[in-house]
Amino acid sequence: MTSNFRSGALFGLGTYKVIYTAKDSAQNISTSSFDIVVQDNSLPVFVGCPAANIEKDADPISCKAKVIWRAPTANDNCLDGTVTAPVFQPGDEFPIGTTVITYIAKDKAGNTSRCEFSIVVSDKTGPTVTSQPTDISANANASCKANVNWTLPTATDNCSTPISFNSSNSPNELFPLGTTKVTYTLKDKVNNASEVFFNVIVNDVTAPVFSGCPADITISSNTSCSATVNWVEPTATDNCSGSVTPTSNFKPGAVFETGTTEVIYEATDNVGNKSRCTFNVKVTNESVPVISGCPEDILIKQMKQGKQLLCGMNPLRPTYVARCR
C-alpha cells in the first residue's frame, strides 16, 4: 500500500488530499482518501498599541486638546493583512469627554484583532466669576439681628455650561450680631468649582437703657459744712448684651461738700456702646454768719470850735465768721 503523503509530514496552509492505494498480486487496485485542511487561526498581533488611556486637559479657550501618539502596527504569523485606522489620527484635536480609538488588523485568512484605547479630554477650568457682592455692614434691630439683602453673584464658564450655584446663606436672611462669612460655590457641568465669599457684618449700635435714674437732690449741710446723701441706684439693660452693671463717680452714702456736684452713672455694653444717667446733688448752707465785736450804742456829742462844728467818733469794727464758705 502506498500513499502520496506520509504520516507526520509537514503541511502548509490549504487543503491537501491524502490518497492510499492498495494493489494485490493480480493487480487489482483500491484506493482510500481523505483531506487534510490546514487553517490559519492565529490572530494578527499588534505592536505598539498604547497600554493605557491617554489623558489630556482641555485648552481653556478652545475646549479641545491636541493629542499625539505613535500609531501601532500589526504582524501575522502566516499571512500579511491590513490595518484599518480610526477616524481620528495622531495630532488631531479632541473634544472634552472620552473618545475611543480603535485599530483593526485583518489577515488574509480573515482573522482580526483590535487595538483599542481611549482619549480622555478633561475640562479642569472652573467657572469665572464676573460679579460678586462685597462685604456688607448692617445695624442690628431691637432683636439683635439684621435683615440683609444682596445681588446674586454671576459667572461664566469656558466649556461646560450650565453653572449651578450653592450658597451658605440667602438674600433677605436674618443675620446675628458679628461677622458671618457667606460662601457661594459655583460648579460647571463637570463639577469644576469656583468659590465666592463675602462677609455680612451686623453691628450693635444701640446703647444700654437706664431705669430709675434719680432726680436732682437738694439737701442742707451739717455743722461740718457737708452732707451724707443716699439714693436708689439706677439699673441698666441692653437689648443685646443683657444686664449691664453701671459705674459711677459717687455711690449712695457718699459725703458731699456744700455746692452742686454732678453724679454720673455710665453703662457700657459688650461692644462699647455707652449711655449716661446724671443728676445733681446740691448741698446748701443754711447757717448765718456769726458776728463778733459788735459795738454797743454810741453817743456822739457835738463840739463847737470856732465856726466849725466837729463830730468825732472812733468805734471798733465788728468781725464775723461764716460757718461754711
Q: For residues 12 and 173, give the distance between their C-alpha atoms in angstroms, rounded to a whole number.
A: 87
Q: For residues 23 and 30, give the distance between their C-alpha atoms in angstroms, rounded to a whole number.
A: 7
Please tell me the predicted confidence (pLDDT) of residue 286.
Answer: 81
Residues 292, 293, 294, 295, Cα dihedral to 10°: 170
Instruction: Work out the burial of residue 238: count CB atoms within 10 Å of its CB; fewer than 13 is exposed, 13-18 middle, 19 or more buried.
Output: buried
Find out whether 287 and 266 touch, Cβ atoms under 8 Å. Answer: no
Q: For residues 310 and 306, give the distance between their C-alpha atoms in angstroms, rounded to a whole number.
A: 10
Please tell me the predicted confidence (pLDDT) of residue 81.
Answer: 76
Please tell me the predicted confidence (pLDDT) of residue 48.
Answer: 92
Please tell me the predicted confidence (pLDDT) of residue 303.
Answer: 58
Strand partners, 29: 23
> Each residue of 273-288: b (16+ CB within 10 Å) or e?
bebebebebbbeeeee
- Specify the pairing of strand 54-57 against strand 112-122: parallel
* pLDDT per residue of the chain (325 residues) written in tens, 0 to 9: 888 888 888 887 778 888 888 988 888 889 988 888 877 788 899 999 999 999 999 999 899 999 999 999 998 888 677 888 898 999 999 999 999 999 999 988 888 999 999 999 999 999 999 999 999 999 999 999 999 999 999 999 988 888 999 999 999 999 999 999 999 999 999 999 999 999 999 999 999 999 999 999 999 999 899 999 999 999 999 999 888 999 999 999 999 999 999 999 999 999 999 999 999 999 999 876 767 767 777 766 655 555 555 455 555 677 655 557 6
Please tell me the predicted confidence (pLDDT) of residue 41.
Answer: 80
Residue 58 C-alpha cell reads as: 482641555
Find out whether 220 and 188 touch, Cβ atoms under 8 Å. Answer: no
Residue 33 C-alpha cell reads as: 482518501
Please tell me the predicted confidence (pLDDT) of residue 313.
Answer: 54
Task: Encode pLDDT of 97-129 as tens digits.
Answer: 999 999 999 988 888 999 999 999 999 999 999
Find out whether 181 and 196 touch, Cβ atoms under 8 Å. Answer: no
Please tell me the predicted confidence (pLDDT) of residue 11.
Answer: 81
Find out whether 216 and 280 touch, Cβ atoms under 8 Å. Answer: yes
Domains of the chain in start order, with CATH, are 2-38 (no CATH), 45-122 (2.60.40), 132-203 (2.60.40.10), 209-284 (2.60.40.10), 291-321 (no CATH)
Find out whether 167 and 184 touch, Cβ atoms under 8 Å. Answer: yes
Query: Which distant-in-sequence residues (6+ apart) come within 8 Å of 27 by Cβ?
Result: none
Please tell me the predicted confidence (pLDDT) of residue 42.
Answer: 83
Q: For residues 136 and 169, give the distance between their C-alpha atoms in angstroms, rounded to a whole number.
A: 13
| Spatial CA neighbour of 116 closest among 105, 132, 130, 127 | 105
Q: In what order do the strands lie in the sheet with 178-187?
A: 136-139, 193-203, 178-187, 164-167
Residue 158 C-alpha cell reads as: 469656558
Please tell me the predicted confidence (pLDDT) of residue 248.
Answer: 98
